[in-house]
Amino acid sequence: MRKFATLLLFLATLTLQAQNFNDYFTDRTLRIDYIFSGNAKETHIAVDELCTSPRWYGKRQHLAELPMEGNGQITVRSHQNGKVIYRNSFSTLFQEWQSYPEAEHVTKSFENVFLVPMPKDTVEVTVDLRDNRRNIVATLTHEVVPTDILIRHIGERNITPFVTLQQARDTSRCIHIAFVAEGYQKQEMDTFIKDAKVAIDAIFAHEPFKSHRDCFNIIAVESPSEDCGTSSPSEGIWKNTALHSHFDTFYSKRYLTTLHLKDLHDWLAGTPYEHIIVLVNTDQYGGGGILNSYNLSMTHNKWYRPVVTHEFGHSFAGLADEYAYEEEQIPMYPHDIEPWEQNITTRVNFHGKWENLIAPAKAAKKELKKYDPKVGFYEGAGYSLKGVYRGYPNCRMRDNTTPYFCPICQQAITRVIDFYTK
Ligand SMILES: [Zn+2]
């Protein structure tokens, strides 16, 4: 009887959620392109362009909730009653750039692209950006009228060819991942597909991805490049590639990224995607991962497997880096502020992070067995040797040689997977 009641409750929740989505949205995607601009002291947000494409591949439940806080948020409100009907969080390369010396003396602009479900009625969309003290430093609210004739229709024909590499158990309630080819010429697509399979093997060799593998639907989008490889400005090498990626991002030699977010989403238009993994056809070490924006990694270097997995930890689950170098201290996380990232702490407001994984002081011997005795506080994380702590000696988010995510990261990733699929 109890089982039956649970089932009924489950069905009722399902119907409620379905109604909720269908009350406000159609099965289409609204893509909003923004320009974020500014310098070390100023931040500005402007709308660039609106596009719509068939089907919606993001969440259909927890619509007004966030998977994590992020360095920025996008909120969609009903124009009629002001109710929040969709929210998501993200981080950006722009905000990272604002902490570099270049931002002290020049103002720059960056493309950013966000996907929301296509509203049925007029909505107000708010984008806000936060600093590393978690204060909102810029906000923009604009109206979107779904019948606006200037919303460009994309992804309806001439869709980039793609291959499905893994089908989720339930494609209506799963996490959609797309691999995108960067620096692969047309005749190299077999190599790209092979490289994407290596990344899948690497990521799903790690818990908790391993035991949640059937929650993920994965495609590989064959975006061809004119030239093979990627640009390397410090060596004077410039290539014409699908996403115009390059090393030396922000003058940091090994930092490989693309700033062409609009091109990235143009290649993806009409394919089933939400989370993006860009594979760059090079053997030079490099990569980057930005929460709910993209994960980018080189493919033909011996560290490819750990790097693509590590960067997915950033882009999918918003995990922080758990390392710190003697020679380079970046004041990314002020020691008097608790960071929102779930795998590091300044111990200012630790509550809700990994306290449940630490054995209580008075726990009985039998109880203790449930806990990993190594979970605790280890100083040195988030690019700071002092004042920022991780919860475990080693982790995939700390170095390339540890073959697992620590229990703290595993818990955080599981929470994100559950958020999207339950
Ligand atoms: Zn970790």
Q: Can you state the angle between helices 304-317 and 189-203, rounded to 10 degrees?
A: 70
Higher pLDDT, 249 or 15: 249
What pLDDT is recorded for position 277? 98
Element (H, E) at 15: helix 2-24
Q: Indicate whether 291 pLDDT > 80.
A: yes
Q: Indicate whether 14 pLDDT > 90.
A: no
Report how far ligand 1's centroid is from the alpha carbon of 395 (Å): 5
* pLDDT digits 0-9 by tens, 312-345: 999 999 999 999 988 777 778 999 999 999 999 9
Report how far ligand 1's centroid is from the alpha carbon of 195 (Å): 25
H helices of 54-121, where? 93-97
What pLDDT is recorded for position 19? 55
8 A C-beta contact, residue 272 and residue 178: yes
* pLDDT digits 0-9 by tens, 368-383: 888 999 999 999 999 9
8 A C-beta contact, residue 380 and residue 344: no
What pLDDT is recorded for position 2? 47
Report how far ligand 1's centroid is from the alpha carbon of 146 (Å): 42
Q: How far apart are CA 280 and CA 14, in angstroms?
A: 40
SS3 222: coil
Bridge-based pairing state of the strands 43-54 and 72-78: unpaired
Q: Can you state the angle between helices 304-317 and 407-421, rounded to 10 degrees?
A: 60
Instruction: Give every CB contact of residue 330 below 8 A, 6+ residues apart in sequence.
Output: 99, 383, 384
Report how far ligand 1's centroid is from the alpha carbon of 63 (Å): 27
H helices of 127-215, where? 189-203
Report how far ligand 1's centroid is from the alpha carbon of 206 (Å): 12
What pLDDT is recorded for position 327? 77
Report how far ligand 1's centroid is from the alpha carbon of 406 (Å): 4
Determine the average pLDDT of the residues in 4-11: 49
3-state SS, 310-341, equals HHHHHHHHCCCCCCCCCCCCCCCCCCCCCCCC
Q: Which of 26-30, 171-175, 271-275 has the lowest mean pLDDT?
A: 171-175
Report how far ligand 1's centroid is from the alpha carbon of 235 (Å): 35
8 A C-beta contact, residue 79 and residue 56: no
What pLDDT is recorded for position 362? 83
Report how far ligand 1's centroid is from the alpha carbon of 398 (Å): 7
Q: Indicate whether 289 pLDDT > 50.
A: yes
Q: What are the tokens at 93?
A: 């390369």
Q: What are the tokens at 28?
A: 């289409």
Report how far ligand 1's centroid is from the alpha carbon of 399 (Å): 10
Q: Indicate whether 187 pLDDT > 70.
A: yes
Report how far ligand 1's centroid is from the alpha carbon of 391 (Å): 7
Q: Indicate whether 47 pLDDT > 90.
A: yes
Report how far ligand 1's centroid is from the alpha carbon of 339 (Å): 15
Report how far ligand 1's centroid is from the alpha carbon of 99 (Å): 24
SS3 2: helix
Q: How far apart are CA 102 and CA 293, in angstroms?
A: 23
Determine the average pLDDT of the residues in 58-74: 97
Q: How far is CA 124 from CA 25, 43, 86, 128, 411, in A?
A: 14, 21, 11, 13, 34
Q: How far is CA 160 from CA 151, 341, 403, in A?
A: 21, 35, 34
Q: Indicate whether 15 pLDDT > 50.
A: no
- Note if the bond before 208 is cis, omega within 30 degrees: yes
> pTM for this structure?
0.94
Report how far ligand 1's centroid is from the alpha carbon of 322 (Å): 7
Q: How big is the chain, counted in residues? A: 422
What pLDDT is recorded for position 12? 47
Centroid of chain to Cα 171: 20
Report how far ligand 1's centroid is from the alpha carbon of 175 (Å): 22
* pLDDT digits 0-9 by tens, 199-251: 999 999 999 999 999 999 999 999 999 999 999 999 999 999 999 999 999 99
8 A C-beta contact, residue 180 and residue 276: yes
Phi first, then psi, for residue 129 (nearest 5°) are -120, 140
Report how far ligand 1's centroid is from the alpha carbon of 409 (Å): 4
**Considering just the CA atoms, what is the radius of gyration of the chain in Å?**
22
SS3 102: helix
Q: How far apart are CA 254 and CA 256, in angstroms?
A: 6
* Placement of tokens 């989008």 in the chain: 221
Element (H, E) at 363: none
* pLDDT digits 0-9 by tens, 382-397: 999 999 999 999 999 9
Q: How far apart are CA 286 and CA 183, in angstroms?
A: 14
Mean of pLDDT over the chain? 94
Determine the average pLDDT of the residues in 91-101: 95
